[in-house]
Structure 1
Amino acid sequence: MKKLTLATCLTAALTSTVAAPVSAQQTRGAAPALHPAQRSLQGIPAVRGHAPDFLQDWLADQIADRIVRKMTLQEKLDYIGGTGAWDIKPLTRLGLPQIYATDASLGVRLSSPAGVSYPAGQALASSWDTHLAKQFGSSLGRDARQLGFQNVLGPGVNMYRTPYAGRAFEYMSGEDPYLGAALVPQVIDGIQDQGVWATLKHLVANDEENNRLAVNISVDERTLRELYLVPFESAVKAGKPANIMCAFNGVNGPLACENAHLNNEIVKQQWGFKGFIESDYNALQDGTKGALGGTDLDMPNGKFMNATTLQPLIDNGTIPQSVIDDKVRRIVRQIALFGFTDNTVSMDNTQTPEQRAQSQAMARDIAREGTVLLKNDHNNLPLASDHPLKVAVIGYRSVTAPPSGFGSANINPNEYVNDIDGIRAAAPQGSQVDYIDRMSLDPGLTPSVGGFTGAYSSNGQTVTRDDRLINLDWNNGGSPFGSAMPDAAVWSGKITPTTTGDHVFKVRADGAVRVQIDGQEIVNNGAGTVITPSIPPTIPSYGTIRLQAGQTYDVSIQYERKPNYFGTLGGFQGVQFSWASLVPTTDLGQYDAVVVVGGLGSEYEGEGFDRPFILPEAQDELIANVAAANPRTTVVMHAGGGVSMRAWVDKVASVLYPWYAGEEGGAAIGEILFGKVNPSGKLPITIERDEKDNPTYANYPFPQNSTANKEIVYSEGLLNGYRGFEAKGITPEFAFGHGLSYSTFTYGPVHVTFGNVPYLDDRQIVARAQFTITNTSQREGTEVAQVYVGEDAPPVSRPKKELKGFARVTLNPGETRQVTVPLNARAFAWFDTSVNTWRIDRGSYTVSVGGASDAIAGTASITLPRDQLLSVKDSLPVVEPTRRSKQ
């Protein structure tokens, strides 16, 4: 990989020439919708946080200025529109190559084969581990570079505001701005250390998917500054991403990508962002508003910001040419800063097995640290590892590829360890691990008696055939008409249950579908049309009916295909039918342990639509029935956010929350279940007992996923998440920061000492919280100590306490360690809209320390002697991270 040295930069900057153009043999054509990476421009590690930053920045400015001066206005207007589906256009005359981007917030999706599938952003957030965040970023950036890309469209950092948020699985801030502000710069630093751009997204308030292309978010300025912008602010100031992607939604009127207050005033002027802002794809609606509103790159193809729309406005003075020059300069500056103007091209764009294994190991580490043990009555876990066990596993999610969310972060892993294989690998030698298929909605294991008879029609043709299973993907040989999809089909068959009681029937189909059992309709999804115009998912329908063991029932399934369904990104075109008993067989109680693997997945949550809080597929009834039959039941829950557990959580022995655990997640789950890994994850969100308990419930629009919903009002203000639960005195199911371990810990008294007072420097340490943690168990374990700050008598409304620091501490059995958590000026500040800056009040503050927001082990007070205003530009939401020198 060729380095961008000071000598080469000075040569480029101080001579009249620019880098040599890329030859035709070195470039690709416009990228298709899904393309294998063919070439890689090898970038340099971006130097961050230490000298000679100023010189690197100056050199990049010189190169960018020189190139922009050589561009014609036509070239500039053409350059600020994307190409292909994700890329920045080449300008070979001036040595600017095409910059290839990949959807990669959770793994590189656009290569063939795809890169490693990492766990959900919420899993990383659950680790509370800034070092792991840096390692993840490095791994993701390395994957992108090795697979031929220069731009990672990630990380996603939006806040978890509502339990319905469809894209919550992508994001790594949880519900707390401080947690996101601590993790995100590390991820960006890791990505960009690999010579690859990071794209911070989605600015801002993209905290739900409901009518995302048209909805306006109404949120007051103070709430915006103190909650939703904080992870972005920290990322810009401490991580310095090359690029920011603005969101689809409006923010207080203007669309996010046309919002001058957000993009120009806050991000570029107040925060000093030197990179460029690109639109989410077709998130602009007006080229003039986009140009003046701060968007620099109109993705994917310059539909709104182009010569046709902007040239007349430049000619008549509506848009100064300097505005266009600034956009181009911002993009070219990042190309120069990362060394892409050197046109160093590598033809090696595949990962070696050793390189992929390195990334898989990182995915497994995140799954290990990010899995949260929510409940563990009577030390049910870990399961015995010193003798063979008989274990039952229930749930089709345990035998499929590891579940994930739908949309641009979805990856079909090339390799994976699913849950049941991970359990079998970790179980003691000689153990029996049984998959209970008759209680699992598995379309690959649910034939009728003798099979189904299907009658298909397409363009006036009719075909009848025997189908043993209805597990048919039209894009993968499922259609009787070859490459053509059927217009409609009717299947008939017979089933004979082996247990008496409730049974659940499920159909997933890209259209209208009905299911009848002995003439009784139990599934009907109406017209079967897509629920959203934005990359629509294929959402299953299901119903329950009581059946008698040994009795044979007629089954009829009627299907009519509808247009606009997706067959990629976790979507599906075809028909899948399955049924399962909700009543356990009598032998279930004889197992040493039962593991029920449940949750959601790309069928029920993802980009473009919001998710349910109540578990689908009658999972509540299933889990409660299993726990009644065998009290040694553990639930493993795969989801991108919180789900309702009230119907069964008091009945099961243990609950493990691995979120979407990535392609190595099954291995991590097995290791945790059998005690080879001691869980240490802590919830980055509050999980409510009832959806109505959530502070946002009263102002969330219903019905969900309706294009009639034009506005969402964040009327809860600052009282989101645990802040709102505490203000209203509502007990959640599991509190923010909660997470159990196989070890136990105690805290010593809390002491708070002053740092630098008066705190003239906005980034100086104001105070330090000091306390001890002792491992009181016989096993090494890791505790995440959380530090909260609350103003005792605030002059304005403030939450009772807010997370302002944390420490991840690993202790040997019986070990006691002194822990110090620094608190900077922003830990005590609130945003004063009357003066448009951060304010610290003179007075007393309570510093609380504990293992969760509802498990405070000790408090101490500190009195600040003076009022002070902090700089919007210079103050940081978190203590400035220590950076290791880069080689």
Structure 2
Amino acid sequence: MSSKDKNIAELLAKLTLEEKAALCSGATKWLTKEVDRLEITEIVMSDGPHGLRYVVEENAFGAVSEQKSTCFPTASALAASWNKELIYQVGTALGKEARHLGVDILLGPGVNIKRSPLGGRNFEYFSEDPELAGSLAAEFVKGVQSVGIGTSLKHYACNNQEYKRFSVNAQVSERALREIYLAAFEKVVKTAAPWTVMAAYNRVNGQPATQNKHLLKEILREEWGFKGTLISDWGAIHDRVAALAAGLDLEMPGPSPVNDSKILTAVQSGQLQQNELDQAVSRILTLLVKVQLARQEAENMAADPAAEKLYEQNHQLALKAAEESIVLLKNENKLLPLNLNEIKQAAVIGQLAVKPRYQGAGSSQVTPSKLPTALAELEKAAAKSQTELLFQLGYQADQTDQRSAAQLKKAAVKAAEQAEIAIIFAGIPEEVESEGFDRQSLAMESDQVELIKAVAAVQKQTIVVLNNGAALELTPWLADVPAVIEAWLPGQAGAEAIVNILLGKINPSAKLAETFPVQEAHNPAQLNFPGVNSQLNYAEDIYVGYRYYEKKKIQPLFSFGHGLSYTDFEYSGLELPVQASAEHGLTIKFKLQNTGQYSGKEIVQLYVGQQNPYFDRPVKELKAFTKVELAAGESKIIKFNLDYRDFAYFNPEQQKWLAESDTYQIIIASSAADLRLQGQVKLNSSAVAHLLDQEDPVVDWLAAPLGKQALEDILNEEQLQFIQSEANSYVTERPLFRLDYLTENLITAPEIEKIYRHYQKLINKNKTLN
């Protein structure tokens, strides 16, 4: 196909049944099938999402040779930037590299929620919070697709662990599904329209995700309106015919002649309707049209810079992304930033200073275009100030040095004792944190913990720089050191970014996108992870991450949204209405001022909490955020608009999003634990959380405004006094339909029926009025 004028319906009519079935699986690991006689060409896919894992060769042993590309920070790092514009830029850069390499679809981003901090692939996901994950992923998708490269939103859904990920059955309530595990997918689908969505390996409530009609057809396609192509994760198909009937279009990888044959046989036998196959093929062809048009547009556009220049530009963007993703966790006595002109000797300790861990292991692993080290970058800076660096390995994560752990630690301690400051580079080795398996513990390697404690014992000016993809247990040594930097897996420019933060060339502005617990046992999924006999109960339900810690009143080590700066910010002047309509939303304003001495960026977070919900809700939930840059002394008016959904929860009784009439707390915060401004708004809504029936106790009828009105409208004064009397609590605790018996016919059965019918009329009238 070479023109946008090619009619999909006409093309579909020209395909044979065999060709249609064959198009529903790939040609290779990375390509879709061609039909030469109809000019149907292949689509090229590549792993992502923080760089192009472009496989150019595979041999009989499965080994791969990969093209060099820019390695950006992983999603856990990018999420800490809370910077939508930045992530859009990263997406655009990845799209341009994909175009340069002839790739049509980048397999990412991953928006699975970090249910447990032990998840082995957490480095590839954004957050424990769906609002943050969805908002950032949407910008990523928009960025990639802005240059005509498709994305594949993954892994849909509840792919929250690596253990038995091919078979595990996630048992999760519909409410938790909607509010936590599907919400990020929903936001991306509705606001960014990804070209494809990738169905996960695991089962959800008994059904494989690749053939789960509720997830694929009822929610994704019918409710959210997804028009794109649904593809399987690589090898995730359980039953190909059932998957196609559920809306799964393309099986990857390919070829898959056995499953192609099953589709053909199912249509011929009537097990599968012809139109179901045609719909899938039509969506695949529509995707191909998008790809072909994008290729043609790219040919007509100004050429991208040569590879060398493109990679250099993207390296600078990777540097900016890393700088905005590094979190300053602790900075006692303002030890940071360092002034090398005032330091004669500095100890640099840790194998990660010379052998950086900059990305996660697994299918997202890329070959970087360049890779500076922290020691080399520090040496450049030290040469200008004549600071002497005393480097020691301190520990070994591999066998590059044959000295014993004790010898390495002893040498590091000696260097730290001799110097004026010590900078320790520590973290999690690749063999502990990867796709394919979950972490066994949040604890750091014992030799690193012992090293930090030993160095801190002789050097009070010790800074720890961490490289890891997800939360760690830092309690054993945190109190011993004055400064800690969380650098995550920061991509190929991470070393430069770390040094720029240490020396104050860049003011840290990142904040945690996940909670760091005091100890592993505190995490919400601790008792239900990773499951038994492939059964996994999401018993914590909607209480994931900070929602759980706040509800249980457990103080974390570092809260969600925590991150320090070299400057200070003041919040003031909150403006919000006293009352608002849920259907029309509201606007919130306040002033933010940089009261410190450095220019800096502040991440402002808006949380909403409901005062008296009918169904239990978290204390507060993130509903909006923004990152604001202010010069020293500068101030800005910040504005947020909230709509119906920002106050709603997924009502388990009515199976829909619902915002109740109630008082809501509006919280403007610097982190989930650092609340700066608070106000209340009375929200008026036509929605009723629970629709009363005659089985409900009378006390519930009295408590519900429309239920009480129905009683008052139908009953006389004597009847009302009887059921409202404290002496008759035994009556009000019983169901409404029992009132005739309990009141010895003071209230009759026909009157009870009349109360119920009148209540239904009041409900309908209330909906109409609002």
Shorter-chain TM-score: which interval?
0.7 to 0.9
- Which residues in structure 2 correspond to 1:599-610 (within 5 Å)? 599-610=427-438
Structure-2 change in CA distance of 1:605 and 1:160 (3 Å): same
CA RMSD, Structure 1 to Structure 2 (Å): 2.3
Residue in structure 2 matched with residue 408 of structure 1 by the alignment: 363
Q: Structure 2 residue aligned with 1:229, among 164, 174, 182?
A: 182
Q: Structure 1 residue aligned with 2:522, among 693, 714, 724?
A: 693
Q: Which stretches in structure 1 are left out of the alignment for 5+ residues?
A: 13-17, 19-62, 449-502, 505-546, 548-578, 703-707, 871-887
Residue in structure 1 matched with residue 130 of structure 2 by the alignment: 177
Residue in structure 1 matched with residue 70 of structure 2 by the alignment: 116
Structure-2 change in CA distance of 1:261 and 1:443 (3 Å): closer
Q: Structure 2 residue aligned with 1:862, among 673, 677, 681?
A: 681
Residue in structure 2 matched with residue 614 of structure 1 by the alignment: 443
Partner Cα separation in structure 1 for residue 295 and residue 93 of structure 2: 24
Partner Cα separation in structure 2 for residue 304 and residue 721 of structure 1: 44
Deviation string 1:156-211 (CA, Å, 9 cap, x unpaired) is: 11111111111111112x11011012111111011011111111010011111111
Partner Cα separation in structure 2 for residue 587 and residue 149 of structure 1: 49
Partner Cα separation in structure 2 for residue 772 and residue 758 of structure 1: 25
Deviates more, 1:835-844 or 1:230-239: 835-844
**How far has the Cα of 1:758 moved from its partner?**
6.1
Structure-2 change in CA distance of 1:587 and 1:359 (3 Å): closer
Instruction: Say whether residues 1:841 and 2:670 are aligned partners.
Output: no
Partner Cα separation in structure 2 for residue 838 and residue 356 of structure 1: 45
Deviation string 1:311-367 (CA, Å, 9 cap, x unpaired) is: 221122111011111111111112223434977897999952111111111111110
Structure-2 change in CA distance of 1:245 and 1:610 (3 Å): same
Partner Cα separation in structure 1 for residue 264 and residue 479 of structure 2: 66
Q: Structure 2 residue aligned with 1:361, among 316, 328, 343?
A: 316
**How far has the Cα of 1:104 moved from its partner?**
1.5
- Which residues in structure 2 correspond to 1:40-59 (within 5 Å)? none
Residue in structure 2 matched with residue 259 of structure 1 by the alignment: 212
Residue in structure 2 matched with residue 724 of structure 1 by the alignment: 548
CA contact (8 A) 1:384 1:674 kept: yes
Q: Tell me which amino acid in the other structure corresponds to 1:672.
A: I
Structure-2 change in CA distance of 1:426 and 1:305 (3 Å): farther
Instruction: Say whether residues 1:597 and 2:411 are aligned partners.
Output: no
**How far has the Cα of 1:420 moved from its partner?**
1.7
- Residues paired across the two proteins, number: 675
Residue in structure 2 matched with residue 210 of structure 1 by the alignment: 163
Partner Cα separation in structure 2 for residue 341 and residue 821 of structure 1: 36
Larger Rg: 2
Instruction: Say whether residues 1:137 and 2:91 are aligned partners.
Output: yes
CA contact (8 A) 2:392 2:412 kept: no
Partner Cα separation in structure 1 for residue 281 and residue 105 of structure 2: 17
Residue in structure 1 matched with residue 273 of structure 2 by the alignment: 320
Structure-2 change in CA distance of 1:351 and 1:279 (3 Å): farther
Residue in structure 1 matched with residue 32 of structure 2 by the alignment: 88
Structure-2 change in CA distance of 1:758 and 1:381 (3 Å): closer
Residue in structure 1 matched with residue 13 of structure 2 by the alignment: 69
Structure-2 change in CA distance of 1:304 and 1:657 (3 Å): farther
Residue in structure 1 matched with residue 703 of structure 2 by the alignment: none
- Which residues in structure 2 correspond to 1:485-524 (within 5 Å)? 504=405
What is the TM-score of this pair, normalised by structure 2?
0.84
**How far has the Cα of 1:68 moved from its partner?**
1.6
Q: Structure 2 residue aligned with 1:333, among 286, 291, 311?
A: 286
**How far has the Cα of 1:709 moved from its partner?**
4.0
Residue in structure 2 matched with residue 468 of structure 1 by the alignment: none
- Which residues in structure 2 correspond to 1:277-676 (within 5 Å)? 277-303=230-256, 306-340=259-293, 351-387=306-342, 389-427=344-382, 428-437=384-393, 439-441=394-396, 443=398, 445-447=400-402, 504=405, 580-581=408-409, 584-611=412-439, 612-676=441-505
Partner Cα separation in structure 2 for residue 306 and residue 365 of structure 1: 46
- Which residues in structure 2 correspond to 1:143-158 (within 5 Å)? 143-158=97-112
Residue in structure 2 matched with residue 99 of structure 1 by the alignment: 43
**How far has the Cα of 1:262 moved from its partner?**
0.4
Q: Structure 2 residue aligned with 1:738, among 559, 562, 567?
A: 562
Q: Tell me which amino acid in the other structure corresponds to 2:312.
A: A
Q: Structure 1 residue aligned with 2:22, among 72, 75, 78?
A: 78
Partner Cα separation in structure 2 for residue 370 and residue 807 of structure 1: 15
Q: Whose strand fraction is larger, Structure 1's or Structure 2's?
A: 1
CA contact (8 A) 1:77 1:305 kept: no
SS in 1 for 2:207: coil
Residue in structure 2 matched with residue 466 of structure 1 by the alignment: none
Q: Tell me which amino acid in the other structure corresponds to 1:594.
A: A
Deviates more, 1:816-825 or 1:268-277: 816-825
**How far has the Cα of 1:600 moved from its partner?**
1.3
Partner Cα separation in structure 2 for residue 807 and residue 755 of structure 1: 24
Deviation string 1:434-484 (CA, Å, 9 cap, x unpaired) is: 3203x2316565246xxxxxxxxxxxxxxxxxxxxxxxxxxxxxxxxxxxx
SS in 2 for 1:205: coil
Residue in structure 1 matched with residue 593 of structure 2 by the alignment: 774
**How far has the Cα of 1:74 moved from its partner?**
0.7
Q: Tell me which amino acid in the other structure corresponds to 1:743.
A: T
Taking every aligned residue pair, what percent have the same amino acid on both sides? 33
SS in 1 for 2:70: coil
Partner Cα separation in structure 2 for residue 737 and residue 342 of structure 1: 41
**How far has the Cα of 1:389 moved from its partner?**
3.9
Deviation string 1:716-767 (CA, Å, 9 cap, x unpaired) is: 01111001001111000000000000001121142223898462xxxx6x12
Q: Tell me which amino acid in the other structure corresponds to 1:588.
A: A
Partner Cα separation in structure 1 for residue 257 and residue 144 of structure 2: 30
Residue in structure 1 matched with residue 648 of structure 2 by the alignment: 829
SS in 1 for 2:470: coil
CA contact (8 A) 2:340 2:387 kept: no
Q: Tell me which amino acid in the other structure corresponds to 1:434.
A: L
CA contact (8 A) 2:580 2:684 kept: no
Q: Tell me which amino acid in the other structure corresponds to 2:281.
A: V
